[in-house]
Structure 1
Amino acid sequence: MTGLRYVYAVCRPFDAALQAQLTGVAGDPPRLLAHRGLVAVVSHVPEADFCEEALRAHLENLDWLAGTARAHQQVIDALTAVTTPLPLRLATVFRDDSGVRVMLEEREEAFRRTLDRLDGRVEWGVKVYVEAEPERAAGPAEPAPKPASGRDYLRQRRMRTRANDDLWTKAEGFATRLHETLSSRADDARLHAPQNPSISGAAGRNVLNAAYLVGRDVSEEFVEVVDRTKDDAPGIRVELTGPWAAYSFAGDEAAGDGTTGHDTAGEDGTGVGS
């Protein structure tokens, strides 16, 4: 099959088979391209959609971008189930197999160093949210009495503001303690910027958005620690996601921050990137 080479991840050789009927970006099944003791996981993609000019236009199309991201993640998830992958940036594309091999040689030392650090580990994500209204956390309640005067209205407003401030302070303290506890049980941790609810669509205000690098052999214990905290603080919601490939700990190769990139190159060095 002709076309460009889309690269999902780099890993060490492994014996386990990927799941049957797995397809990647543009519907092509991923394959393993071994070179100098490393393996690039690649598939073919049509040049009409992934050449430099077309790719730049596609990256402005949110529907196309979302579909490509889902297909990319599907391959990464399958790899994570059988080995420790180092995921590359979304839309990393090369002209041919030779271009992929050149990339492996040029970045060999960094790839090996990162794979050594990530070996046998996965990423877990933990988010803590505080409800916007304390009353919602406490459940159904009697409606507040109608203010009898302007002074009464201001008093009720001050009480609501104070309750919200108290809950926010409580949530910050809870999140700090939880992060310290989870960090002590992880090999590494990353604090990401709180998510904007207008973008994420999640209810409440995000007070902790963290990632933890955890050994596969202790992941069950890590999950249990998180689960035990979920009912510790009314009005505070804890969300756990994973296990994922270690995007947050893969360095510049991965796009764990939600950004995208493209890297089109061949033996002649044409295209974007190296």
Structure 2
Amino acid sequence: MTEPTAPNGLPGPTPPTGDVTYVYGVAAPHGALHDVVESLRGVAGAPVRPVADEAGGLVVLVSDVPAADFEAAPLAAHFEDLLWLEAVARAHHGVIDAVAARGTVLPLRLATIYRDDDRVREMITADRAAFTRRLAHLDGSVEWGVKVYLAAAPPPAAAEPAPEPGLSPGRAYLRGRHQERNARQDSFREAADSARRVEAAAGAHAVEHVRHRPQQGPLAEGAGENITNDAYLVPRDRTDDFRRAVERVAQESTAIRVEITGPWAPYSFAAPGPDESGARDRAVTT
């Protein structure tokens, strides 16, 4: 095989070989976990397997993936390839969702990579207390998404019955623009008030709330401008009340459109709460 060369003609860096360990998430061991993991295929079609911590109280879900794709340098290049990234994301979330359907799982960030299983065990041992607290907090709850959209653009200002005497075309134009601006501000103000009522209704049935950046451009779906994009951690036995409360407030306002999605694994709540410490994950090979 020809040795890779750099632009200056000197030998280039040797491509990484072998496997590294891809980490999906952390779970507490339970009777059904082994059965679920046994049949799972994850990133790059690799089998998913459990790695237990030394104390046996936590399980890390991992796969062996090729270093040639997942070492730091090739991984950074792959992150520019949207099709590759989408395939990895789908496989990652597929594993998390399958495990979450049978028990509590703490998802880690996409493309969390460790050199080998020993490094994974070191990580889980160092952060055991934080992981254990977070899993206990997530136990029995699921994530729901609530997006609030401005229902529609405000209607243009109504034309005046007759122009005021002496009002020039330029002044008439400026007055019309002023009325349109006021109408838009009123529309946003009403939508913002309705969005706050949605948040209050949802929060009454949730144990935690995360506010994401509103979606814009290609990420935005459906009609209307996305003005809030929130996630709620909701106990499973309160999900019906959660949905009914949000839908009731949404129906009371014509200024907004509300989209409810879920239930999901608690992706938005994987980070520790304000009273927790410890590193959550690493996005580069360790």
TM-score (norm 2): 0.78
| Cα distance in structure 2, aligned partners of 1:22 and 1:144 | 64
| Cα distance in structure 2, aligned partners of 1:20 and 1:163 | 59
Say which of 46, 57, 63 aligns to 2:66.
46
Alignment deviations for residues 208-250 of structure 1 (CA, whole Å, 9 cap, x no partner): 2222111011112212222233332224111112212222222
Q: Determine the structure 1 residue equivalent to 2:41.
A: 23
Q: Determine the structure 2 residue equivalent to 1:3.
A: 19
Q: Determine the structure 2 residue equivalent to 1:264.
A: 285
Who wins on radius of gyration, i.e. which is larger? 2
Say which of 207, 218, 223 aligns to 2:243.
223
The structure-2 alpha-carbon separation of the partners of 1:152 and 1:83, relative to structure 1 and needing over 3 Å to count, comes to: same
Q: SS where residue 111 of structure 2 aligns?
A: coil
Q: Determine the structure 2 residue equivalent to 1:140.
A: none
- 1:14 matched to 2:7: no
Aligned-pair CA distance for 1:24: 1.2
Q: SS where residue 110 of structure 2 aligns?
A: coil
| Cα distance in structure 1, aligned partners of 2:246 and 2:38 | 33
Q: SS where residue 243 of structure 1 aligns?
A: strand
| Cα distance in structure 1, aligned partners of 2:255 and 2:282 | 39
Aligned-pair CA distance for 1:26: 0.6
1:106-255 equivalent positions in 2, closer than 5 A: 106-131=126-151, 133-135=153-155, 149-195=169-215, 197-202=216-221, 203-251=223-271
| Cα distance in structure 1, aligned partners of 2:272 and 2:71 | 23
Do the aligned residues in 2 keep the contact of 1:132 with 1:164 (CA within 8 Å)?
no
| Cα distance in structure 2, aligned partners of 1:56 and 1:89 | 15
1:45-124 equivalent positions in 2, closer than 5 A: 45-124=65-144
Do the aligned residues in 1 keep the contact of 2:146 with 2:230 (CA within 8 Å)?
yes
Do the aligned residues in 2 keep the contact of 1:23 with 1:30 (CA within 8 Å)?
yes
Q: Larger deviation: 148-157 or 74-83?
A: 148-157
Alignment deviations for residues 68-119 of structure 1 (CA, whole Å, 9 cap, x no partner): 1121111111122111111111111122222221211111111111111111
Q: SS where residue 264 of structure 1 aligns?
A: coil
| Cα distance in structure 1, aligned partners of 2:201 and 2:118 | 46
Q: SS where residue 103 of structure 2 aligns?
A: coil
The structure-2 alpha-carbon separation of the partners of 1:251 and 1:121, relative to structure 1 and needing over 3 Å to count, comes to: same
Q: Larger deviation: 227-236 or 163-172?
A: 227-236
Aligned-pair CA distance for 1:61: 2.3
Do the aligned residues in 1 keep the contact of 2:25 with 2:96 (CA within 8 Å)?
yes
Q: Matched residue pairs, number?
A: 250
Q: SS where residue 45 of structure 1 aligns?
A: strand
| Cα distance in structure 2, aligned partners of 1:65 and 1:50 | 12
Amino acid at match of 2:121: R
| Cα distance in structure 2, aligned partners of 1:15 and 1:21 | 15
Q: SS where residue 64 of structure 1 aligns?
A: helix
| Cα distance in structure 2, aligned partners of 1:14 and 1:3 | 28
Bigger relative contact order, structure 1 or 2 (CA pairs below 8 A, ≥6 apart): 1
Alignment deviations for residues 255-274 of structure 1 (CA, whole Å, 9 cap, x no partner): xxxxx962323xxxxxxxxx
Q: SS where residue 109 of structure 2 aligns?
A: coil
Unaligned runs of 5+ in 2: 1-17, 164-168, 274-280
Aligned-pair CA distance for 1:20: 8.5
The structure-2 alpha-carbon separation of the partners of 1:47 and 1:91, relative to structure 1 and needing over 3 Å to count, comes to: same
Q: Larger deviation: 86-95 or 222-231?
A: 222-231
| Cα distance in structure 1, aligned partners of 2:73 and 2:119 | 19
Do the aligned residues in 1 keep the contact of 2:155 with 2:183 (CA within 8 Å)?
no
RMSD: 2.7
TM-score (norm 1): 0.81
| Cα distance in structure 2, aligned partners of 1:33 and 1:234 | 51
